[in-house]
Each structure stands twice: as structure tokens, then as C-alpha cells.
Amino acid sequence: MRKGVRDMASGGLSLLRERDLLSTFRSLDDSPRSFFENQQAVTLPQALYPVVSDDVNRALTNVVSLALPEDYTAMTDTLIDLLSLLKETFSDKTWREAVLPAARSHAVASLIHECPFTRHSFSRPRGYPGDAGLIDFVYRHPAARAAQEAATEAGRTVMAFTVNVTACEAVRHRRSILAAKIDEVATRREMPSILSVASGHLREAELSIALKAGRIGRLLALDQDAESLAVVDGYQGSVSHTIEARQATVRQILAGKTGLGRFDLIYAAGLYDYLDARVAARLTSVLFDHLHEGGQLLIPNFLWGVREEAYMEVFMDWYLLYRTPSEIESFAQGIAPETIRSKRYTEDAAGTIGYLEIEKV
């Protein structure tokens, strides 16, 4: 089992979580007994990849049998469990080179891609994973309604299931947390300045009471995507004229080429889920330097144990960097301790996203 993976709740045919059901996999016939007893990941030689592919195809064909003409709910639920089990069973190398390609080439992929949420992620219309348009599906935002209505009825049942899983609920909760932080800083500081890094569509602005009440002095939204920033620009008229959109990349921020100024609150909603540890630590230090005295930096990151991880990789081509609490806390390792007034790590109720909050002296 992969490092840090927690016990995961299972839906659908929960017996798929039982490893003795893998006894039908011919590719595992010669696996040592320790695999079944200690849940050790199995690495297979490339010569056995065709056997793995055959095993995966047979298992997925059984899953497809659960599909009803206008309802793929049971199929989707069971598929998520099956893929999660396979990702735990096989080593990263065997998963990446044998299991995942076999799953993507199976007929179940065309059924799953009737879901506009899943298909949007896999097709990457903006050229990169996890774009703001995809997160609008998670938020159940009106901006995603047209794509949902254009999907097949069965495809909509896939979406109804996938956007209600624990991971998506955690993202919706994260939006509420960010809006609450915006409101909270307005109670501590008069007309505070706020920076949102990799802002996407800045949907938390819609939930902020302080923004709509005119109690925020400045909210600067940075993103690499001009299409996302065009949406943010629209909030100047509908939410607050203090919202400002600016195009910038993480590389430019790290190089100090953005002339950002200083802020009372800085946050990055989903950015750190894509940054390697070294870049994450460097960025944390740079952003911390952009805080006013008493300013706060808030960094969320997904934790290990997301049941849907394998589904996301196979059918959404969506990869996140999951971390342990200690790895998230290590983002602050480059900050001089004497400049930190407080450092706090918290998690959402489901233990899906961890939050690091650092306050400057």
C-alpha cells in the first residue's frame, strides 16, 4: 500500500475491496503469499503485461454489466472502487505501464466520458489539468450548466455521482473556507489587501460578505490563464470594484518580476496540489515575504487517501500531489522562525484537505 494512504470508505460493491477477489487475476497467480497478507504492491515483468491487460479487461467488462440504459450510477461507483483496488495492488510502474493503458482502452471509457465533468478533465480544453472550468463543475456553478444539460442522461448520472464524492465535497468546502478567511481579515484590518495566487475563476468572491459590503481595500487575483482572468474581471461590476485581475506565472512570482506589493492575506486555493516539494517551499517563502506585519498566508493541499485518485488518473488524466500533514507543514521550512508569529495546521472534517496557516510577526 502506498505511503500515507488512509483507510478509505468504500461504496458500491464493497466486496471489491477484498483482495481474495483478485484470485481470478491470472497475472497474480505467482505472487507471493505476503502480497495477500501484507498488502504489498506487486511489480510484474513487462512480459506479463498482456496478461494484466486481459485481467483488467475482464474485470471492467463485469463492471459495464452494471450499466443501465439511462443510469450509470452503479457502474461508476463500482468502477471507482475497482480502480482504487487495482492501484493499491500493483506497483506504480505496473499501474502506469499496464493497468492504466488497459483501462483507458476498454469500452467503459466511452461510457464514462459521456460525463461532461470527466470528459472536460480528460480533454484539457485549456491545455492543462484542473482548470477553472473543471472546478466549476465541482462547485455546481451555473457556468457549467450548459455542458451538463448537453450531456446524455446516463452521462449526467455519472456526473451526479462523481461531483458528490468526498474529494469534491472537500473542494466545495475549501471555497467556503477561503470566503470566510476574506471576511475574517476584514474584521481584523480596515480595508485589507488580499492576494489570491492561481485564482482560477475566484468563485469564493461570490460567497464573501465583506467583498460585497465594500470592506476589502484590494483583492488581487493572479493566474496564468487569461480566460480565467476574464471571468474574474467580470466580478468588478457584480461583486466589488476592488477586485483586480493580473496574469502571472509561478515562475514569475519566484523570480520577483511581478511587483505585487504587500498584503494582509495571501492564499492559494489548489495550486500546491501541483507543485513539487522544493518549489512549494520556495513559493511559500516568497509569498510570506509579501505579507504585511500580522498578515496571514493560507495554503491548502490534498492529503493521501482520496478514494477517487485512480479514477481521476485513468479517465480524467488528472494527477495531484497528495501529501502527509508533515509534508504540508514543511512548506514553511525556508521561513526564518523569528519572523513567524504562529503556524497552524488543520484539516477538514473528512481529513481530505490539509490547511497550513502562517502568521507573520
pLDDT tops 90 at residue 29: no
CB atoms within 10 A of CB 50: 12
In whole angstroms, give the CA distance from residue 253 to residue 50.
46
Q: In the structure grid, which three cell numbers stand for residue 201, read together?
A: 475563476
* Percent of the chain residues topping a pLDDT of 90: 88
pLDDT digits (tens, 9 = 90+) for 266-323: 999 999 999 999 999 999 999 999 999 999 999 999 999 999 999 999 999 999 999 9
CB atoms within 10 A of CB 274: 17
pLDDT digits (tens, 9 = 90+) for 155-196: 999 999 999 999 999 999 999 999 999 999 999 999 999 999
**In whole numbers, what is the pLDDT of the chain averaged over residues?**
92
The arithmetic mean of pLDDT across residues 3-19, rounded, is 42
pLDDT digits (tens, 9 = 90+) for 32-78: 555 555 567 899 999 999 999 999 999 999 999 999 999 999 999 99
Give the pLDDT of residue 23: 72
154: left (phi > 0), else alpha (psi -120 to 50), else beta? alpha
The arithmetic mean of pLDDT across residues 135-150, rounded, is 98
In whole angstroms, give the CA distance from residue 78 to residue 16.
8
Q: In the structure grid, which three cell numbers stand for residue 233, read together?
A: 474581471
In whole angstroms, give the CA distance from residue 26 to residue 357.
49
Give the pLDDT of residue 37: 55
The alpha carbon dihedral of 38, 42, 48, 54 has a sign of: positive
The model's confidence at residue 19, banded by pLDDT at 50, 70 and 90, is: low
